[in-house]
Amino acid sequence: MIGKIQAYIERHALLAGEAPVLVGVSGGADSVALLALLCRLGYACVVAHCNFHLRGDESERDEAFVRGLAERWQIPFYRVDFNTEEYARKNRLSIEMAARQLRYEWFENLRQELGCQAIAVAHHRDDNVETVLLNLFRGTGLSGLRGMRPRNGYVIRPLLGVSRQEIEAWLCGEGLSFVTDSTNCSDLFTRNFIRLRVLPLLESRQPSVKETIARSAEYLSGVEVIYRAAIDRARREVMPEEGRLLIDTLLCQAEPRTILFEILRDYGFSRAQVDQIFAVLEGESGRRFYSSTHQLVKDRGALLLAPLSVDQPDTVMIGRDFDRLDLPLPIEFCLMPNSPDLEIVKSLNVAYLDYGRLRGNLLLRHWQEGDWFIPFGMRGRKKLSDYFSDHKFSRLAKEEQWLLCDEESIVWVVGQRIDDRYRIKAETEMVLRINFYAR
């Protein structure tokens, strides 16, 4: 058993060097075996125990057992109390998910505090088989079918290659005791139902079903690596710039619907939403879809993604206070006298305005139907909608475009053109220079 675990650790490069290992120990058979095996392999271990206060006296019994074990084996011991039910209620989580979040957050904080190289947890092969079946029942992709990884960041699983039966047999042979969680005998929880009801039924037809599922999960873990590489390559082709998906390029891919889902899931869109989006790829522009964090707009030959704005006003009054720091876009004002030596930076992101032409207070706002201005260098007025069309603005770009206005007119289409009526002339006395620091 010891040699098998050492080989697994080396194969997956789970541990190296002399830095300590933080070991999550509940007191059950799996975690006791993990701690004992790592200690016998010569790793410097630190015991971490969570008391979730979910099982009354059993929770206190478990903590006392783990504390005593650490004292007998002369291993540093750390413990923490959690009000798991309150945390679950406040965060609208299941008890199982709440305990998981609390446990791993504390483990990581403790790992950093103590300088441990890894967090070792006691998941074994049977846990992995149960996870695969649980994910299959709920609906999953490759990431769910490959189950748990030997390493996930700093979390390692040295026992993933051995079964529950092997672990308990080894503990028995070594004369090592452990505690039993009484809730493991209840099939009210889905995972326990799989362990107590489903797997025995499958084993009655196929005795080696656990080994078969475990091998399949390991194989699919490798397949997922290849799959992710292919998705990343397709993502770079379909979305050469952030927030813009090229429809024609997408439709040329081998599995465009799958690729679209893999891209959009990162922006909070569900499988059902992606199916709806895919159905309108060749339809008219203007269709919109929303996730909890983003909006997507079909605009001609592209799908445009943008974060949902967070309480951003459509109009922001600036007045003549040019030192305001709470503006919705990064702009800077500088008032200076006009002179023949005035250096003009030729950039769409820098505007030079005749300060004396400005009427009343300045404000920033988004465009409205019917807006017009006289673009710099022209004499006649131009509708802003026509300007946007001429310069091939996308629907999202039009909605996000800011206008600097005085109390009479548009002064500057920010990052584009100023209104010709506000350009500086020989008789201009004061110049207002505005820098727009485009993101």
Predicted pLDDT at 311 = 57
Percent helix, strand and coil across the chain, each rounded to 5? 45, 20, 35
Q: Which of 91-105, 110-124, 162-176, 186-200 has the lowest mean pLDDT?
A: 186-200
Question: Tokens 């006691």 label which residue?
Answer: 122
Determine the distance from the C-alpha atom of residue 119 to the mean position of all C-alpha atoms in its chain, rounded to a whole number. Answer: 22
Q: How far is CA 16 from CA 12, 42, 138, 152, 237, in A?
A: 11, 11, 37, 16, 39
Question: Tokens 């159905």 label which residue?
Answer: 279
- 31 belongs to an annotated ligand binding site: yes
**85 has a pLDDT exceeding 60:** yes
Shortest CA distance to 358 belongs to which of 383, 333, 380?
Answer: 333
> What is the three-class DSSP state of 362?
strand
- 30 belongs to an annotated ligand binding site: yes
- 28 belongs to an annotated ligand binding site: yes
49 phi and psi, to 5 degrees?
Answer: -125, 135
**307 has a pLDDT exceeding 60:** yes
- 26 belongs to an annotated ligand binding site: yes
Predicted pLDDT at 324 = 61
The tokens for 410 are 């548009």
Predicted pLDDT at 368 = 85
**327 has a pLDDT exceeding 90:** no
pTM: 0.65
Dist CA 38 CA 44 (whole Å): 8
Q: How far is CA 11 from CA 128, 146, 282, in A?
A: 18, 18, 49
Determine the distance from the C-alpha atom of residue 317 to the mean position of all C-alpha atoms in its chain, rounded to a whole number. Answer: 35
Average pLDDT of span 263-288: 86
416 phi and psi, to 5 degrees?
Answer: -125, -100
CB 14 within 8 A of CB 155: no
Residue type, 362: L
Residues whose CB is less than 8 angstroms from the CB of residue 85 and which lie 6 or more positions away in sequence, other chains included? 54, 95, 98
Shortest CA distance to 44 belongs to which of 69, 15, 64?
Answer: 15
**195 has a pLDDT exceeding 80:** yes
CB 428 within 8 A of CB 354: yes
> What is the residue-averaged pLDDT of the chain?
89
pLDDT single digits (tens) 238-253: 999 988 999 999 999 9
**40 has a pLDDT exceeding 70:** yes
The tokens for 284 are 């008219």
List of domains in the chain? 2-219 (3.40.50.620), 239-307 (3.30.465), 315-436 (3.50.40.10)
Calculated CA dihedral for residues 256, 261, 267, 269, nearest 10 degrees: 130
**366 has a pLDDT exceeding 70:** yes
Shortest CA distance to 399 belongs to which of 297, 250, 290, 265?
Answer: 297
CB 31 within 8 A of CB 24: yes
Dist CA 149 CA 218 (whole Å): 9
- 122 belongs to an annotated ligand binding site: no
**DSSP labels for 200-236?**
HHHHHH-TTHHHHHHHHHHHHHHHHHHHHHHHHHHHH
**DSSP labels for 46-80?**
EEEEEE---STHHHHHHHHHHHHHHHHTT--EEEE
The tokens for 395 are 């629907």
**216 has a pLDDT exceeding 60:** yes
- 208 belongs to an annotated ligand binding site: no
Predicted pLDDT at 139 = 78
Predicted pLDDT at 341 = 84
